[in-house]
Amino acid sequence: MESYLAPEHYDLVTPDGKIVDIRTLDPSRRMATIFIEKISPVFVGYQIDEKLITFNLKSTLAQLGVNAIGREFYFEKKEHTVHVKVEFFGIGNLGRAMLELLTIGTYVGKLFAADDRRKVRDPDYLMRMFGRSDRKGRPLLSLGGLEGSGALILEKIDGRTVAFISLLDGILTYEMNVYGFLPTLEKALRGNVGGTRQFLHLHQNWEDKAPRIVHRDQILLVSTPPLHIRTVYGHVVDALLPQGMYHTSANYLQPDTFASGDVYELYGTSDQIVDDIPLEFYTLEPHREHIFFSDRDQLLANLEDLESLFNAFATAPGPSHHLAAVFVVKGTQMQGLRPSDWIMRDPIKHDFPGLSHPTRQAQIVDKYIEAQASYPFLKAIEEGLITSQGILLTRHFPSPLMKRMLLNDQIQRCLKRIYFLHPSRSSDGFFSHEDRAMLVDLAKFGIPVYWCDPLSHKILQYVLKPEKDAGLFVPIPLIEKFRKATFFGVYGSNLQEGDFEKELKALLEGVLKMREDMQHPLLSPNTPLALLTGGGPGAMEVGNRVAKEVGILSCANIVDFRAKDRQVVNEQKENAHIDAKMTYRLDRLVERQAEFYLDVPIFLPGGIGMDFEYTLEEVRRKTGSNPPTPVLLFGETEYWRKKVTSRFQVNRETGTIRGSEWVSNCFYCIQTADQGLWVLRHFFQNTLLIGKGGPVYDEGFCDVYFEMSSK
């Protein structure tokens, strides 16, 4: 898989080959054996009919009047080599003079695999490239400038796209001193030195009045405006040239053509003036096409299909605890993924020395990053070897140490989405603090992250809560509901469900009905509702189950309570009634609680965990980190007196809550849904005495039954 990420690799062409044997047939012809090595193992020529493979001559030789035709091909696939029998022709005196100089060791051309499956069929494929540029500002496809030109005409002929490139008036001819340059040129070709065409141009003259007509035994050099090709191979279509006119076998334009590709070599016999050059096109490997993600209709359709994504992940090779990643840029690639397409890694765990040893720390971090499965793809994007926009499929959520690469400007341009199966390699379904920090950064930098959750068999997208540096993974159809929702929450025991389910359901149904008559920032006809719990059993499961039953978004902040040494907390398995979720490791229990961000908390009877949650909601209102919204305490008044009153009264008597006693008016003890709706109705109508200007309740909370009875 990693071989195609090498800078020299293109799958439709081989490297340049050199002459290893040459013999004279007559003054105008030579028969040579060309040896080509280091062919890519994925060279398409290995797979297609040999008749579609052609020898592509170096354009420097073609401009001098040399032509060549590949006659026979002898591949050694295991050695990644080929021997090609090539017949050379000298056209005109200059061509024959250059032919005389060709010798063993001269690099003369390469093979091109004209795979019919890679022909550009639809002109729109090319048209959408006009006006677009690569990361260095170079046009992707243009003739004469970034926006293209009227001199480039695209048509669909015989099922493929053909561009007719208008020629400039005039032709190129040579100065006589070019003969003295030929030996130097041949030495440069033996050294396989690039850029020889530029030196050849020094010996060429432009005759702007000369007719563009081909004569026997002459090379006609014609020119177009500067041509840029970054997205396809171009190939001259001889059949669409005037009758009797042909192009040399230097007839393929490489996808690294910058403001060149503007000289064409024609030969034959014709009395017609040639007006344009017809080009057909072949696509690059998908990752090098410079294609925009928004243009990949089939890929986008696949990403909307649940089973398509899970099937793609199923192609990743085992073992399942190893890291695996693949970069996908088109729909057919995703549909045809094979185990060999994935990059696998099993990084060795490093003992990081820490910030007290910054140099060693940096070195070990670099090694760890390079050992990640996604690293070769991200590095290839950085280096410009991957130019198409696409998605990263990775079995495990990327290590936080990959953040500096993921947020790199060049990678941002290409990486449009991240999909993963498991939040962590070491902790399975639970994110670390650093993971969540990276999720926030990715969201802010516009790189969407999706969890293909095997437990729920859903695709969940990470979405930030409005104006908060925290978020949840949310089913895609429910994202807008999540962003706009007013959040209720249920706190309570993981051991006991209690008998509150009926009243909780009636309360939420009542709020849904109530919103039709409200115009409050937290409740109006257009306000969705959501309910958040800890995602476990007991009271949490009651809350999530009721949320699903009444049709509101059911969410959870789930902690890793799996059995560990000396652990005294019961393992809490995720309940089955959750739509959206975030997960936390046990060492971040307090952080998890801080990220509930509830608008209306609801407490059911519970233990130590609920006591902590109660205190946190109290502190939020006291400090102003939360506005003074009502907190509902479901249960008998005597229960909440035992839980709350003594602490509140001791704090009040000792003066440790001086000036904050008003916090008591944020808590409302209720036994029925009707009592809860009475509190919420007054709050949403702005008639509830709550906050600093409200009363102080001696018990630390308002007894709603008593309050309603007294009015």
Say if residue 536's pLDDT is above 70. yes
What the block records as the tokens of 21 is 């044997």
Return d(Cα 690, Cα 146) in angstroms, integer.
64
At 428 the pLDDT is 81
For 494-520, how does the pLDDT look when each residue is reduced to its tens digit (9 = 90+)? 766 667 899 999 999 999 999 999 999
What is the torsional sign of CA 414, 417, 420, 426?
positive
For the chain, the average pLDDT equals: 90
Q: Does residue 359 or residue 699 have the better pLDDT?
A: 699
Give the angle 404-407-410 at the CA atoms, nearest 5°.
Answer: 110
Q: Does residue 148 or residue 35 have the better pLDDT?
A: 35
Torsion of CA 641, 643, 649, 650, to 10 degrees: 150
For 39-56, how does the pLDDT look when each residue is reduced to its tens digit (9 = 90+)? 988 899 999 999 999 999
CA-based Rg of the chain, rounded to a whole angstrom? Answer: 36
Say if residue 147's pLDDT is above 50. no
At 703 the pLDDT is 94
For residue 319, is the peptide bond before it cis, meaning its omega torsion is within 30 degrees of 0?
A: yes
What the block records as the tokens of 695 is 């009363």
Say if residue 258's pLDDT is above 70. no
Q: Does residue 148 or residue 12 have the better pLDDT?
A: 12
What average pLDDT does the segment 412-430 reach? 92
Alpha-carbon separation of residue 174 from 63, 204, 211, 212, 401 (angstroms): 10, 5, 16, 15, 59
Strands (E), 151-200: 152-157, 160-166, 171-174
At 360 the pLDDT is 72
In one-letter notation, the amino acid at residue 212 is: R
| Structural domains of the chain, ranges and CATH numbers in brackets | 2-117 (2.40.30), 123-170+211-284 (2.70.40), 285-444 (3.40.140), 485-711 (3.40.50.450)
What the block records as the tokens of 263 is 């000289």
Say if residue 439's pLDDT is above 90. yes
Residue 88 phi/psi, 5-degree rounding, is -105, 145
What average pLDDT does the segment 416-444 reach? 93
Alpha-carbon separation of residue 295 from 409, 424, 447 (angstroms): 21, 32, 17
Long-range contacts of 463-469 (CB under 8 A, 24+ apart): 464/440, 465/597, 468/595, 468/597, 469/440
Q: Which residues of 348-376 are buried (b: 16+ CB within 10 A; e: fewer)?
A: eeeeeeeeeeeeeeeeeeeebbeebbbbb
Return d(Cα 670, Cα 217) in angstroms, integer.
103
At 57 the pLDDT is 97
Return d(Cα 634, Cα 45) in angstroms, integer.
74
Alpha-carbon separation of residue 234 from 14, 198, 255, 257, 598 (angstroms): 16, 20, 8, 10, 60
Task: Confirm if 540 and 575 have CB atoms less than 8 A apart.
Answer: yes
Instruction: Residue 140: name the closest of 255, 4, 14, 312 by CA.
Output: 255
Longest dimension (CA), the chain: 119
Q: Kindly state the DSSP code that residue 424 receives in the 8-state scheme.
A: B
Alpha-carbon separation of residue 224 from 132, 143, 154, 269, 386 (angstroms): 21, 8, 15, 21, 30
DSSP codes of every residue in 566-579: T--SPP-PPPS--S
Q: Which helix (H) or strand (E) holds 59?
A: helix 59-63
At 640 the pLDDT is 95
How would residue 564 be classed by pLDDT, with cut points 50, 70 and 90?
low
Q: Does residue 110 or residue 346 have the better pLDDT?
A: 110
At 10 the pLDDT is 78
What average pLDDT does the segment 612-630 reach? 92
Return d(Cα 476, Cα 473) in angstroms, integer.
9
687 CB-near residues (< 8 Å, 6+ apart): none
Residue 550 phi/psi, 5-degree rounding, is -90, -5
Instruction: Residue 253: name the closest of 333, 169, 143 by CA.
Output: 143
What average pLDDT does the segment 77-106 reach? 96
